Every structure is written in C-alpha cells, then in structure tokens.
Amino acid sequence: MIHRTPGGTRDVLPDEMRELRGLSSHLRATFEEAGYGEVRTPSVEYEDVLRRGDERSAGAGYRVFDERGEVLVLRSDMTIPIARMVASRFPEASTPLRLSYFAHAYRAVEPQSGRPREVLQAGIELIGEPAPEGEAEVVGLMLSGLERAGLARHRVAIGDGSLYRMLLDHLGVAPEARTALLERLTRRDLVGLEALLARLDLDAGEREALTVLPTLRGGREVIETARRALGKGLAPAVDALDRLTGCVELLAGGHAAARVIVDLGLARELGYYTGAVFELYDPAVGFAIGGGGRYDELLGRFGRGLPACGIVVDLQRVHVAQAEEERLA
Amino acid sequence: MIHRTPGGTRDVLPDEMRELRGLSSHLRATFEEAGYGEVRTPSVEYEDVLRRGDERSAGAGYRVFDERGEVLVLRSDMTIPIARMVASRFPEASTPLRLSYFAHAYRAVEPQSGRPREVLQAGIELIGEPAPEGEAEVVGLMLSGLERAGLARHRVAIGDGSLYRMLLDHLGVAPEARTALLERLTRRDLVGLEALLARLDLDAGEREALTVLPTLRGGREVIETARRALGKGLAPAVDALDRLTGCVELLAGGHAAARVIVDLGLARELGYYTGAVFELYDPAVGFAIGGGGRYDELLGRFGRGLPACGIVVDLQRVHVAQAEEERLA
C-alpha cells in the first residue's frame, strides 16, 4: 500500500537530510561572518504583493484559499517577499542591509515534467549597494560559501540582463518580435534566435550584433569583443559593459577569480532584473545550481527605492553536484 | 506604504531568527545523539492521505489547487506525513525507528483570532516501541532537549487520552452526549462538563467518577485516587492506569523526574491518539509549548501496523517562554 506524495515533491530521509543540513550550516556560517542576518518570511503572501514584485511571479505560484476565501499564493521565490519586508519593517534602517535566507520556494510545474514543486533555497540579498561593488560582494561570498560547503569545481557566469533588451529597444524592434527573441534567448536557443533575426528588417551590422552578442562567453576579453560589436552608438549598453568590467575586475582581485566566466548571452527568466545577472554551475552536473542578479527597481515598488542585488542556490542541486564531484574525483 | 502579510503570519527578523536557530540546534543535537534521524516531508500532501490519518486533520489545513486542479493540502502536522512515509519508504526496516523533524505546519484559523497559521515545530517520533517504554523515552528526551536549549522551569503533564472515552463507553453514554462531553474536556471546561453530566441518566457513583477524573492532577498519588474513583469494574481503564504508572516510574528514575505532572483531565484535540497524551508547559507563560502522545493505530492505516508515539514543541512558543524565564530570573 503505497501512498504517493504530490508529483514534483519528495520525502527526504535521514542520510540526505544530514548532508543537506551540513551544506546549510557551511553556507550559513559564511553568510553570518560577512554580516548577513538570516530572515524568514511567511510561506504564503497576498497575491497582489507578489504581482507588484513581478507579474509572472504571482502566476507561477500555487494558490491557496484561506478560511475567508481570500487568495493567498505560496511564495515562488524569496526576493520579492524580502523586498516587501524591507520596505515594511526597515523603512528607515541605514544601508546597506545584508540579509540571508534558507527557505523553500514553490513552483507550479508541468505535470510529468519531473521538475520539483518545492525548491530548498539558500540565498543572500544586499540592499542599498550599487553596481559593481554589490555584485562583486554577493558573487564572491556565494563562491566562498560553496567552497566551504565542499564544492571544488563550481563556476559563476556573469552577464547583463538589460544588455540585449537595450539593444532591441535601440534598434526599434517591434514588441512582438522582441518578446519572441527574448524567449529564445532565455532558453539559450541560439539557432531559433538567428532564424527569427533573419526575418527582421535590420541591416547587416545590426543583425550581426544581435547574433554575436549572445555567443560571447569566456574571459574578460569578451567584453571588449562586445564593445566592438556594439559600436559606439549605444551609450547605455556601454555603461552596462563598464559595470560588468568593474564587477569582473573586483572579483579578479579575490580568491574566486578563476571561477568567473563572462557570458553575454545570459538572460534569467525573472522579470525584475535590471542589470547584472548570474548563473552558478558545477561541471560535474548538467544544470545550473543557482543564480541571481541586480534588481534596482524592485524595492521602489514597495515604497523604499534602493538599488539591490542577490544570489541564491538550490541546495538539493548543490548536494547532487557535491556528490557527483566526489564520485568523479 | 505597508504591504501586509496574511493574517496569522509574520516576518522573522535577524535577532529572533538567530535565537530560533540556536534553540533548534540544541534540540537537533539532543535528538541526534539519541539516534533520531531527521526527515522532511513535502509541505503539501494529497487530501486523502491526511484524511486517512485523521478526518479532522484534512479539514484543518489549507487547500491548494495545483496546475491540474488536483486538491492538495498544506500539512497541518508532521505525524501523519511521517506515518505515510514510514509505511511507504521503510516497509521492512527493523524497529524501533527513531525520526525527528524541524518543519512548519499550517493551520486554518478563525479570522482575527490572533492565532498563527504557520507553526514552526520541532518533534520526534518513536515507531515500533510499545507503552510505557516509548512514552518515557520521548518525554525524557524532549525534557532534556528543552533544558539544553536553555529552559529551566518547564514541566510535562502526562495523562491518557483513552481513559475518559473508555469510561463513557463503559457507562453507555449516547454518542451525541459523548461528543459534547469530550469537547468540554478538550477545552478544559470542567464547569460545562459538570453541567452536561448533571443532565445524563447516571447513578451517583458514575457521575462522581466522570466529574472527579478530569480534576485529578498532581504527583503519582493521583493515579491511585483514580483507581479508587473508577472501582474495579473497568479492566481497560485499569490497564491504562497501569501503563501510566509504568511511564511515570520510568521517568522517575531519570533526571527529569521533578518535571512530571500526572494529569488525568488531559485530552488532546487530535483524533489519532490511542493512549498516553502529553502537554508541555513553562510556568513563565500561560500557554502550552508542546505536546504529543501515543498513536498505535495510525501507522496501520497506511499499511504498516506498528505502535508509536511522539512529542513536539512549537519553537516560537519555546522561544517566548525562554525569554520570559530570563526576564523573570
């Protein structure tokens, strides 16, 4: 007589739990020593709060009806609830604010997709610190935490989520084509992207820039390649590349320099990122183990306009990566 | 601009979070050293799983509709999910099984009642160990854990949830009156209980027994008072009192002897308790900080019939009690 758990959820038995607790405590110690105070927000939020943070975020969550029939939503990430909390509970606290969390997020998933509905996240948010210092701090700290937790081969890709959007705006690409292009970019479907670009009314140089930019991945030199591809006409993009250079230079001075990859094709799904975006990998496994970015407009939507950035890992994926690293070692 | 969290939920800020983590780690260490392995179950379960455990448990939870319209329920305690897990994931493991958990449970609450919807629980379940050894182990361990976590004045009340029910059955009290009496008993409304008893067709001795039993609270001597009040005619009740004596004697040999109160009026709300029931208090605060009991029929409903008992604390209430103890010290 087997009683199932809902698809995309699972029981965690003692051996795995002990290892997950071990990972958490290494990360927690790393965050604490750097002055990040742990917070917790409720598992459920009012739907309009999540919608204010990101239209898609409210839709991606599970709806819960309370005893009065009010619609609550299980949080689908911690960044939006923390933005709400900072505006409500720290309206006048001096900045920067350094906060961390260890909590589950809940995602609606396609049936039979095998994707988890519950994700155990460990993350940090740095509020009130502008680019590029903020980015360098959170990325450097997460890389240290993962090292302390036992990973040896992890990498972080750093790009800029606003870069491609700016370029599309600058070139006057119509909204419909823009959405389709960004969707291909987010899925890293570069073949599909190129096919779409071929149908747009662009000159050869413009099409070349839009095609080449997402393929630029490597060391700091790819930022220079991007500068040449974009030309001089696009001041905001040049600013974004300058910030990226600044972030990479700050990290180059630290212990984690060799772990940094510049990736100008990186575009994260969530809609609130305004600048740098990050993705964490481990070569032992074929999936991202975490990510994050800068979200300078999110806190203002809750009434306290402050620049901010954050980074998060999926602890169960980190655990799989760690086990794979050990197996391959 | 204040964005509310749903009624009965709250944000936990860094100072409180640090203290809650401290409490958890003392309890976790206590449980681990005693061989209790931590587990985690999904936050959501299929409604029929919770209903199989306890009819009211499914109703008490929040309903969630997934992307296919299936009804899931946020767990309202961890004991039923762990019973499901043991039957499914440990169908042949040797017993006793010792499991612990640190997790949130979700409760539907009356609007404006001020009661929390999310309760952070720390608990243990001992599966396959009969009375009274099982009871003595889990109660003794939780008392030690709370001591290690910094409480000094906490107490545990131990009663038997089946005793009053047996007595009502034995005296042939009609189901409707039975439900009403048990409801008064659970609320500790002894005046209301007495008023209901006055209207029932009972002889003076029977009414006396039903009135006196719930008032018996104190040292081991109250068990002897109960024996006299019940007379000799009720063999199962005598067995229950014998088990209670056994449990109290086992605890009397340990470090926690002075913390034990026998309370024959104790009746816990949840429907799956079959024998001993516990409630944890701290004199610094006016509410129970935890509880538990024996549930010998629950695992059988999921396909692996084993005697079991468990005990749990509400970590936020333990935290309040600890702060109050410090303030009063």
Separation of alpha carbons B320 and B286, rounded Å: 11
Work out how many domains chain A is built from and give that number: 1
Say whether pLDDT at A147 is over 70: yes
> Does any domain span residue B110?
no
> Does any domain span residue B252?
yes
CA-only gyration radius of chain A, Å = 20
Inform me whether the C-beta atom of residue B93 falls under 8 Å from chain A C-beta atoms.
no
Q: Do A64 and B67 touch (CB under 8 A)?
A: no
> Does any domain span residue A37?
yes
Q: Do A64 and B70 touch (CB under 8 A)?
A: no
Q: Do B63 and A64 touch (CB under 8 A)?
A: yes
What percent of chain B shows pLDDT beyond 90?
67
Inform me whether the C-beta atom of residue B5 falls under 8 Å from chain A C-beta atoms.
yes
DSSP secondary structure string for all residues of B104-126: EEE----TTS---SEEEEEEEEE
CATH number for position A35:
3.30.930.10
pLDDT in tens, A290-327: 999 999 999 999 999 999 999 999 999 999 999 999 99
Inform me whether the C-beta atom of residue B273 falls under 8 Å from chain A C-beta atoms.
no
Separation of alpha carbons A162 and A133, rounded Å: 18
Separation of alpha carbons B145 and A102, rounded Å: 23
Band (pLDDT 50/70/90 cuts) for residue B56 is: confident
Which of A267-276, B41-50, B175-184 comes out lowest in average pLDDT?
Answer: A267-276
> Averaged over B191-208, what is the pLDDT?
91
Inform me whether the C-beta atom of residue A6 falls under 8 Å from chain B C-beta atoms.
yes
Average pLDDT, chain B: 91
Residue B6 has its nearest CB partner, among A10, A38, A44, at: A44
Chain A residues whose CB is inside 8 A of the B99 CB are: 14
For every residue of A198-223, which 3-state class applies, written as one string?
A: HCCCCCHHHHHHHHHHHHCEECCHHH
> Does any domain span residue B136?
no
Chain A residues whose CB is inside 8 A of the B102 CB are: none
> Does any domain span residue B249?
yes
Say whether pLDDT at B35 is over 90: yes
Are B52 and B286 within 8 A, CB to CB? Answer: no
Closest CA to B126 of B146, B144, B141, B109: B141
The answer to whether the peptide bond before residue B130 is cis (omega within 30 degrees of 0) is: no
What percent of chain A shows pLDDT beyond 70?
96
Separation of alpha carbons A213 and A262, rounded Å: 12
pLDDT in tens, B210-225: 999 999 999 999 999 9
Chain B residues whose CB is inside 8 A of the A21 CB are: 28, 38
Strands B260-263 and B217-218, sheet pairing: antiparallel
pLDDT at A229: 84
Band (pLDDT 50/70/90 cuts) for residue B58 is: low
pLDDT in tens, B272-302: 899 999 999 999 998 999 999 999 999 999 9
Q: Could you tell me the pTM of the whole model?
A: 0.94
Residue A42 has its nearest CB partner, among B6, B13, B42, at: B6
Are A165 and A182 within 8 A, CB to CB? Answer: yes
Domain with B209, as residue range(s), is 162-267
> Does any domain span residue B229?
yes
Chain A residues whose CB is inside 8 A of the B124 CB are: none
> Does any domain span residue B208?
yes
